Each structure stands twice: as C-alpha cells, then as structure tokens.
C-alpha cells in the first residue's frame, strides 16, 4: 500500500508539474501580468474579425491591424464601438495611465483602458497570446490564429522602463534604431535613452554648428581588441568610422517611438566626454589654442579633453540644447556629467581664475556650476535635466533627476534629498558585461559578468529608503555601451534575453516575480524573437548562463 501511495503521489506531482509547464506555455506573457486567470476555450481570429475602438483608441487599433496583417494575411476593419464580438477596445475612466484589463472568450476579445498607452499594451499582450508566428513578416498558411481564453488585470510597477543605446562609440543606422525601439515596445518598455555624443563621435546634426558632424562624426580608425593604455601595444583597424543622424532622421525616429508610446530621451554629454566636440570647435578646449586636440578619439576609456567652463562654452552648449529641444518633446534632457576628468581644469590658469571669480571651492564645484547653468536653461523651457550620478559632486542642481550608475549609492542620496532617480547600476543593468563566467565562450566585452538570472534578481528600490523616499525611484533601465558592439546583430546578442528579464523587473509586481516561472515562459518568448529576426544569446543546455 505504501508503494502504491508513493507511486500515486509521484504521478500526481509529475502531472501537476506537466500542467504547470503547459499553462506557462499557453499563457507565456512577458512581463508577467498583475492578475492572469486562465479560462476554458479560445477566440479564433479570422479574416472577418472586426476591431472596434473608442475614438481615443483608433490609432492603437490601426497599429495592431497593420502589425498582424502580413503574417495572417487578414485586412481587418477598424470601426467605432458596436455590438459585442470581435475585438473591442473600450475607453473607461478610473484605470491608471498605462493600465489595462483584458478578457478573452470564445466570442471575442474585450480591452478596457483609460489611455491609449494602456490599450496599446493590452494588444501587445494579445499578440503574445497568439502563436509566435504572429511576429513573422510574411503570410503563413495553415496557422490557426487562436487566443486562449483568459482574464487579465495589469499595470506597470514603474513609470520609467528604459533602454539606453550608445550610438557614439559605434554608429547604428537609422533602420536599426527603429528596430530597437520596436522591440522595446513589444516588451512594454517606455523610455529610449539615446546616447548621441562622445569622445569617439558626435552623431546629431546641429544647424548652428555644422562642424560637429562635418568633423566630429568621423574618427580615422578604431581600436581592435581590449583597451590597453600603452600606445605601443594598441592595434587599430585602419578603417574610417563615420555616421550621424540628420534632424529629419531624428524627427522620424522620435515620431516612430511616440506611435509606440516610447519617450526618446536624448543625451548630449558635457562637460566631459567632449573630445569630438573640442576637435570640431577648438575654442571649447580647456587648454590654450596652441595645444591642438589629437582628433576624434580612436581608443576606448575616458578622454582628458573637457569643455572649458567659460561663458562662450556655456552659450555654445545651450545653443546645441536649443536645437535638441526642437527635435525632442521629452520632458527629460540628459546632459551626461559623468567621468569628467578635471586635470585640464587644474592645469589651466583661465579655469582656476574662473573658479576664484565665481567663489567656488574646487573643480567639482566648477562642474556643478556648469551643470546648474544647463538646469536653469532647461527649467525655464519647461524641461528637466537628468544626468549620471557624478552630477551630485559639488552640489546637485535644484531640478535635476539622477541616473545612478556607480551602484545604488548615488540614487539613494538623491532620493533622500528629494530628487527623482532612475536606477542604472553597472552591477545589474550594464549589458556590455559578459553573459557567461567562461569568457572564452563569449565575444569580447568590456568585462564583468551579468547573466539573465542576475538581471532578473535586480531590485530597483533600495531597502535604505523610507516609503516616501522610495516614491522618487522612477524605475530603471538597461545600458548598451557599444565599445565592443560594432554592429546591430552584436547589440542584439548583448541585449537579449537580458532585456526580457529586465522588463519583468520593471513591469511586474515584486510579489509576482518568480524566476522558475519566468524560465518556463521564456522558451516560447524566444520563438517570438526568432520570428522577429533577433540575434539573441541562446540558452545553454536548458540553463541561462
């Protein structure tokens, strides 16, 4: 009897486990919704299905119809709300900004949201409930487009769910930037941090200062292999690397992102990471004109070339920001502020005299003064300055938001002082790190180790904060620094599936995060990435390394 009971228990456990896996595959929604209640049956999408929408959701409905037209071969009609049945997008009051409710039955699909963003995310969930082939680009014969019956109530945990992309170290074509944005939208991210200027290249056209791209957008060659400080041991590819975005390109990308409910946050680095700008306009240099720059930077690391803090330099950067504001409606404008080596300021009689004249204590306060000029400029124009956590040094500008990358300490200090924070610690969100402990299995990276499990375990709200202070944590984002990512396919390899893990950190309630459950849903999601032609890093023998 004991043997029979043991066998029965074993079979029951095995059956339950199999059912859990089957349910995870049937409802492989990422990020995991707040509430997901499976039901019996399914809705079958066909050529006669009608998409009905409240007036505020018509654009979202048309976007959905366009998205699924190629794989299904269906040209679905979008109509005003009418009788029950088909797909209905209904605007209702009372739900949070990006929240939605979704009910799928055999008769139809009902979406309720108060904003277009909520309706958009509901339909992204609907696409995840369809077969992964829905993400293909050509009609597929024989596919049954069924959506399993379910009730979902969902809303994001954080308002800032982002991805940074550095296009300055390695320029990325406009078409790929749009693909990156499209992938972010499919994962319910809502911020794209576009890193546009660096020592190694200036990538955005500025009408008033054309030399920024005429001269600053090209470097003569690029370091090959890992960075070494000894010039005699540095090896270069001998190839000129160029590229920038016209203002028309920028407008196109910003509009493309807005249609997908993503805010594009531009970054214009200052006062450090400025070698390309100084090379284009030598009067920006902190050294006397008799000391020329060595050109646009060809190696990685941090350049000592820093903008001088003169009134002329401040006016120059504010002129740049004036054109940036015309192109980007984002409430936030990122001014960098990180890794500003101050050796040239220390050696400059002009800068030292400026520090004395302004009554400042040292070079850190000089940088703080410089950043405050930009903070005042942006605040007067209805925008908010955001910068890396070095902007805390020497005193934080009054209206600044801090992006904390050197761990969580900067974010904690800023939140305690009443400033908003975006968490971006290198330990968990720098996707230029290796994805395996065995680095011989991976392409060259900058160092470190951050795998999917580590990303999934990231908690953006530090325990050191009180509930009131924690409200200043807007969210977090991934960082894709491209020193060792020379092309879009390499960027995708470094981004996915780590970005898949991060979206669940930023969207789902902490109580709903379950790594084992995530791994059960992930294989279906990887089939979606296959359909989308994403060069993600493959799983190793069933494990995420």
67 and 186 in one domain? no
* 103-118 pLDDT tens trace: 999 999 999 999 999 9
List the structure tokens of 81: 């709300």
Q: Residue 304 contacts by C-beta under 8 Å, 6 or more apart in sequence?
A: 341, 343, 344
Quick one: 453 exposed, middle or buried, by C-beta within 10 A (0-12, 13-18, 19+)? Answer: middle
* Paired tokens of 145: 């487009």
pLDDT over 60 at 541, yes or no: no
- Structural domains of the chain, count: 2
pLDDT at 95 over 50: yes
Residues 278 and 253 in one domain: yes
Residue 227 banded pLDDT, cuts 50, 70, 90: confident
Residue 8 confidence (pLDDT): 65
Model pLDDT for residues 450-485, shown as the tens digit of each residue: 999 999 999 999 999 999 999 999 999 999 999 999
Q: Provide the pLDDT confidence category of residue 83 given band limits of 50, 70 and 90.
A: confident
Task: Tell whether 335 and 189 lie within a shared domain.
Answer: yes
Half-sphere exposure of 418 (CA within 13 A, CB side): 3
Residue 251's nearest CA partner among 179, 329, 195, 193 is: 329
Using the 3D structure, point to which of 92, 126, 154 is the last residue of a domain.
154
Q: What per-residue confidence (pLDDT) applies to 61?
A: 98
Regarding whether 377 and 358 lie in a shared domain, the answer is: yes
Among residues 8, 20, 87, 6, the alpha carbon closest in space to that of 54 is found at 87
Q: What is the mean pLDDT of residues 10-37?
A: 80
Residues above pLDDT 90, as percent of the chain: 89
pLDDT-derived band at 140 (thresholds 50, 70, 90) equals: confident
User: For strand 191-195 and strand 100-104, is the pairing parallel, antiparallel, or unpaired?
Assistant: unpaired
Average pLDDT over residues 323-333: 98
CATH number at residue 493: 3.20.20.80
Q: Is the pLDDT of residue 35 over 60?
A: yes
Cα 260 versus chain centre, distance: 13
> Is 502 found in the same domain as 372?
yes
Task: Please report whether residue 232 resides in a domain.
Answer: yes
**Alpha-helical runs (H) found in 405-481:** 409-416, 426-429, 452-456, 467-470
Checking if the pLDDT of 19 tops 50, the result is yes
- The domain in which residue 41 lies consists of 26-154
CA 393-275-374 angle, 5° bins: 45
Q: What is the pLDDT of residue 3?
A: 59
Query: Does 201 lie in the same domain as 102?
Result: no
17 belongs to a structural domain: no
Q: Is the pLDDT of residue 545 over 70?
A: no
Residues 6+ apart with CB under 8 A from 1: none
Return the structure tokens found at 73: 């071969």
Do 57 and 169 fall into the same domain? no
pLDDT at 16 over 90: no
Tell me how far apart the alpha carbons of residues 302 and 14 are, in angstroms, rounded to a whole number: 55
Query: Which residue would you say has higher pLDDT here, 85 or 244?
Result: 244
Where is the domain boundary, 123, 154, 185? 154
Mean pLDDT of 22-42: 95
pLDDT score at 542: 39
Single residue among 105, 136, 154 that ends a domain in this structure: 154
Does residue 118 sit in the same domain as residue 183?
no
Q: Which SS3 state, helix, strand or coil, does residue 95 take? A: coil
Encode pLDDT of 353-390 as tens digits: 999 999 999 999 999 999 999 999 999 999 999 999 99
**Is residue 356 within a helix (H) or strand (E), and if so which, with residue range?**
helix 349-357
Same domain membership, residue 112 and residue 43: yes
Specify if 277 maps to a domain.
yes
Residues 147 and 253 in one domain: no
In the three-class reduction of DSSP (H, G, I as helix; E, B as strand; rest coil), residue 99 is classed as coil
Find the angle CA(435)-CA(440)-CA(446) to the nearest 5 degrees: 55
Helix %, strand %, coil % of the chain (to 5) = 40, 20, 40
CA distance 144 to 518: 26
Same domain, yes or no: 95 and 244: no
The answer to whether residues 260 and 329 belong to one domain is yes
Q: How far, in Å, CA of 431 to CA of 416, rounded? A: 28
Q: Confidence band (pLDDT; 50, 70, 90) for 544?
A: very low
Residue 134 has pLDDT above 70, yes or no: yes
The pLDDT, as a whole number, for residue 84 is 85
Q: Is the pLDDT at 539 greater than 80, yes or no?
A: yes
Confidence band (pLDDT; 50, 70, 90) for 58? very high
pLDDT bin (cut points 50, 70, 90) of residue 290 is low
Are 459 and 504 a contacting pair, CB within 8 Å? Answer: no
Residue 291: pLDDT above 90?
no
User: Does a structural domain hold residue 7?
Assistant: no
Cα–Cα distance between 202 and 243 in angstroms, integer? 8
Question: Is there a domain that residue 525 lies in?
Answer: no
pLDDT at 7 over 70: no
Contacts for 350 with CB less than 8 Å, ≥ 6 apart: 286, 308, 310
Q: What is the pLDDT of residue 543?
A: 43
CA separation for the pair 422, 502 (Å, rounded)? 14
Q: What is the pLDDT confidence band of residue 6, given thresholds at 50, 70 and 90? A: low
Average pLDDT of the residues of the chain: 94
65 in any annotated domain: yes
| pTM reported for the whole predicted model | 0.95
In a domain, 74, yes or no: yes
- Could you please report the per-residue DSSP string of 172-197? --HHHHHHHHHHHHHTT--EEEEE-E
The reply to whether 403 falls in a domain is yes
Residue 198's alpha-carbon distances to 202, 232, 249, 271, 274, in angstroms, are 6, 24, 19, 11, 6
Ramachandran angles phi, psi of 58, nearest 5°: -60, -45
Q: What is the CATH number of the domain that holds 60?
A: 3.30.379.10
User: Can you give the C-alpha Rg of the chain in angstroms?
Assistant: 25
* Rounded-to-integer distance, Cα 60 and Cα 93, Å: 18
Read off the pLDDT of each residue in 186-209 and give the average, rounded to a whole number: 98
């Amino acid at each position: 009897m004991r043997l029979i009971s043991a066998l029965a228990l074993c079979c029951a456990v095995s059956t339950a486990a199999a059912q859990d896996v089957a349910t995870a595959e049937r409802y492989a929604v990422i990020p995991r919704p707040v509430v997901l209640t499976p039901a019996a049956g399914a809705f079958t999408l066909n050529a006669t299905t009608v998409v009905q929408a409240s007036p505020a959701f018509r654009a979202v409905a048309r976007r959905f119809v366009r998205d699924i037209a190629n794989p299904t071969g269906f040209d679905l009609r979008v109509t005003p709300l009418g009788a029950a049945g088909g797909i209905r997008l209904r605007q209702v009051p009372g739900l949070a900004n990006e929240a939605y409710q979704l009910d799928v039955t055999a008769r139809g699909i009902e979406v309720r949201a108060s904003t277009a963003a909520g309706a958009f995310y509901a339909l992204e969930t609907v696409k995840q409930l369809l077969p992964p082939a829905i993400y293909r680009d050509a009609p597929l014969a024989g596919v049954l487009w069924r959506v399993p019956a379910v009730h979902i109530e969902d809303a994001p945990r954080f308002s800032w769910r982002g991805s940074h992309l550095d296009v300055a170290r390695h320029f990325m074509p406009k078409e790929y930037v749009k693909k990156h944005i499209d992938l972010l939208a499919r994962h319910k991210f809502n911020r794209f941090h576009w890193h546009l200027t660096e020592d190694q290249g200036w990538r955005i056209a500025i009408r008033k200062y054309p030399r920024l791209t005429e001269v600053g957008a090209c470097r003569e060659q690029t370091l090959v292999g890992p960075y070494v400080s000894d010039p005699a041991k540095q090896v270069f590819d001998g190839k000129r690397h160029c590229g920038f975005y016209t203002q028309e390109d920028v407008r196109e990308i910003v509009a493309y992102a807005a249609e997908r409910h993503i805010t594009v946050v531009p970054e214009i680095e200052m006062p450090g990471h400025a070698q390309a700008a100084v090379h284009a306009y030598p009067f920006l240099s902190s050294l006397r004109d008799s000391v020329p720059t060595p050109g646009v930077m060809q190696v990685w690391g941090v350049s000592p070339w820093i903008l001088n803090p003169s009134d002329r330099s401040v006016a120059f950067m504010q002129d740049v920001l004036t054109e940036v504001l015309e192109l980007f409606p984002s409430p936030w404008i990122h001014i960098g502020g990180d890794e500003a080596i101050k050796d040239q300021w220390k050696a400059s009689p002009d800068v030292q005299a400026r520090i004395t004249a302004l009554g400042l204590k040292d070079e850190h306060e000089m940088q703080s003064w410089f950043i405050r000029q930009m903070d005042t400029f942006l605040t007067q124009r209805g925008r908010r300055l955001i910068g890396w956590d070095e902007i805390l040094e020497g005193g934080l500008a009054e209206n600044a938001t801090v992006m904390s990358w050197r761990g969580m300490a900067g974010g904690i200090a800023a939140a305690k002082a009443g400033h908003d924070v975006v968490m971006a610690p290198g330990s968990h969100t720098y996707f230029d790190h290796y994805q395996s402990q065995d680095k011989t299995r991976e392409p060259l990276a900058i160092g470190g180790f951050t795998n999917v499990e580590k990303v999934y375990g990231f908690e953006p709200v530090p325990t050191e904060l009180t509930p009131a202070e924690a409200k200043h944590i807007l969210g977090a984002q991934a960082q894709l620094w491209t020193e060792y990512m020379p092309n879009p396919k390499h960027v995708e390899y470094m981004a996915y599936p780590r970005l898949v893990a991060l979206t669940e950190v930023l969207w789902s309630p902490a109580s709903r995060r379950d790594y084992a459950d995530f791994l059960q849903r992930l294989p279906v999601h990887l089939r979606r990435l296959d359909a989308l032609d994403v060069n993600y890093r493959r799983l190793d023998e069933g494990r995420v390394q």
